[in-house]
């Protein structure tokens, strides 16, 4: 069959060797393109049905990426094979055309590399986003991916481009040792010049991975500021304090210092209310009032239940402390205020006095005169 096909081609071309290989090359190229279309159709129909049975969507996205580049890749392969057929008919007399074919092969190689790199980069980006979305959805960290995904995508792209550049240089017989040396020296100089920025970026990456706090958490930093985490960036973290001011803290400092997180691992927080009553008040009655108010408050959790303790004998009264918990740290101050108001009202109803601070001031001159007059009266009576 192959011999008969060659005889037909020879009859069409009139035995011209160059024309014969040219027609053969065109047909090989068309066959390669047709093969690419068949593969694309097969993957778009049968492959899709097979992949649709899986639970995840990552394989569907990868299939779509690969399928979108099959025609382009098969076209390049077809052109290359067709040019190889034409090369068989050329001799040293066609040197100019041979040089043209060499340049054309180089261009086809670079186009093939670009197509493959684009496919690999898109697959790496898709896999990265899928894995990070999976982690954030599991841990309910919705803001995690907004800063981390662009960073990892840039790193992936840089690694792919660098590796591809090395392969291309090696393909053309160029040594990459000098290039790597120059890049290493440049990287060292850049690292020394921007070491603070790089340190903050690495610290930001550590914060995103380790997750000591999340966006929306209420934290207290060593400098004393307390607020809600507003944004976690690559260089710094922004905290919105109670005065509605944004405190910008470099990530490098947050990694090295101790931070109090009021929202992790749970948003529950303790509410502490201190009360002082006058001496002579019934201790059990005061404790009963404190516990009943806490248990009846809508924001106070019953598990763990509220607790009230007689703490100490004060200078002018008895000191009690009420401990209870609320479900969210944002309810801490409103709940504490509401409990204090209710305690004040109940103590008034029970006629339990809240004492004022009292101090006794003695006049030294009057005290001395009083002592002298007392001693004189004693002498006269004798």
Q: Determine the Cα–Cα distance for residues 50 and 60; give it in Å rounded to an integer.
A: 10
Q: What is the pLDDT of residues 301-344, one digit of tens each?
A: 999 899 999 999 998 899 999 999 999 988 999 999 999 999 99
Question: Top-level CATH class of 212-261?
Answer: mainly beta
Q: 304: which residues sit within 8 A by CB, 6+ positions away? A: 325
Q: What is the pLDDT of residues 33-87, one digit of tens each?
A: 888 888 888 888 888 888 777 777 787 888 888 888 888 888 888 887 777 776 6
Q: Where are the domains of the chain?
A: 2-186, 212-261, 266-382
State the pLDDT confidence band at 379, using cuts at 50, 70 and 90.
very low
Q: How far is CA 205 from CA 141, 153, 232, 265, in A?
A: 15, 13, 10, 21
State the pLDDT confidence band at 380, using cuts at 50, 70 and 90.
very low
End-to-end alpha-carbon separation of the chain, Å? 157
> How far is CA 82 from its chain centroid?
50
| 82-94 burial: b if 16+ Cβ within 10 Å, else e | bbebbbebeeeee
Do the Cβ atoms of 258 and 250 come closer than 8 Å?
A: no
Q: Which has the closest alpha carbon to 237: 225, 227, 223, 251?
A: 251
Residue with the two structure tokens 């529950």 = 268
How large is the average pLDDT for residues 277-293? Answer: 94
pTM: 0.54
**Residue 253 DSSP SS3:** helix
Q: Which has the closest alpha carbon to 208: 230, 237, 228?
A: 237
> How far is CA 297 from its chain centroid?
38
Residue with the two structure tokens 């890749």 = 73
Task: Supply the pLDDT for residue 138.
Answer: 55
Do the Cβ atoms of 311 and 344 come closer than 8 Å?
A: no
Task: Supply the pLDDT for residue 146.
Answer: 60
DSSP secondary structure code for residue 1 in this structure? -
CATH code of domain 266-382: 3.30.70.100
Strand ranges for the chain from DSSP E: 218-220, 226-232, 236-241, 246-250, 260-261, 269-277, 307-313, 318-326
User: What's the chain's average pLDDT?
Assistant: 79
């Amino acid at each position: 069959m192959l011999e008969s096909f060659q005889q037909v081609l020879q009859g069409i071309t009139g035995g011209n060797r160059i024309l014969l290989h040219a027609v053969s090359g065109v047909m090989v190229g068309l066959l390669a393109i047709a093969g690419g279309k068949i593969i694309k159709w097969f993957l778009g129909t049968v492959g899709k049905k097979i992949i649709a049975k899986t639970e995840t969507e990552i394989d569907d996205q990868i299939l779509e990426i690969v399928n979108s580049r099959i025609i382009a890749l098969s076209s390049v392969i077809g052109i290359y094979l067709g040019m190889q057929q034409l090369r068989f008919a050329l001799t040293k007399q066609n040197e100019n055309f041979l040089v043209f074919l060499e340049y054309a092969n180089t261009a086809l190689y670079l186009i093939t590399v670009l197509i493959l790199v684009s496919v690999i980069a898109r697959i790496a980006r898709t896999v990265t986003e899928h894995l990070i979305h999976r982690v954030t959805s599991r841990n309910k960290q919705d803001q995690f991916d907004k800063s981390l995904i662009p960073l990892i995508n840039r790193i992936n792209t840089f690694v792919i481009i660098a590796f591809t550049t090395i392969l291309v240089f090696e393909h053309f017989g160029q040594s990459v040792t000098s290039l790597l040396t120059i890049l290493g020296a440049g990287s060292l100089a850049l690292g020394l010049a921007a070491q603070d920025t790089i340190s903050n970026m690495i610290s930001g990456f550590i914060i995103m991975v380790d997750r000591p706090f999340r966006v929306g958490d209420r934290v207290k930093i060593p400098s004393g500021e307390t607020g809600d985490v507003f944004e976690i960036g690559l260089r710094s973290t922004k905290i919105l304090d109670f005065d509605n001011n944004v405190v910008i803290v470099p990530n490098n400092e947050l990694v090295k210092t101790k931070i109090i997180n009021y929202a992790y691992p749970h948003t529950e927080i303790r509410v502490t209310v201190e009360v002082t009553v006058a001496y002579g008040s019934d201790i059990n009655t005061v404790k009963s009032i404190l516990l009943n108010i806490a248990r009846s408050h809508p924001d106070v959790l019953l598990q763990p239940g509220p607790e009230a303790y007689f703490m100490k004998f004060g200078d002018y009264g008895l000191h009690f402390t009420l401990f209870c918990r609320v479900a969210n740290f944002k309810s801490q101050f409103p709940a504490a205020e509401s409990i204090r108001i209710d305690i004040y009202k109940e103590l008034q109803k029970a006629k339990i006095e809240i004492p004022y601070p009292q101090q006794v001031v003695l006049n030294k001159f009057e005290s001395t005169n009083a002592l002298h007059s007392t001693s004189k009266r004693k002498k006269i009576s004798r």
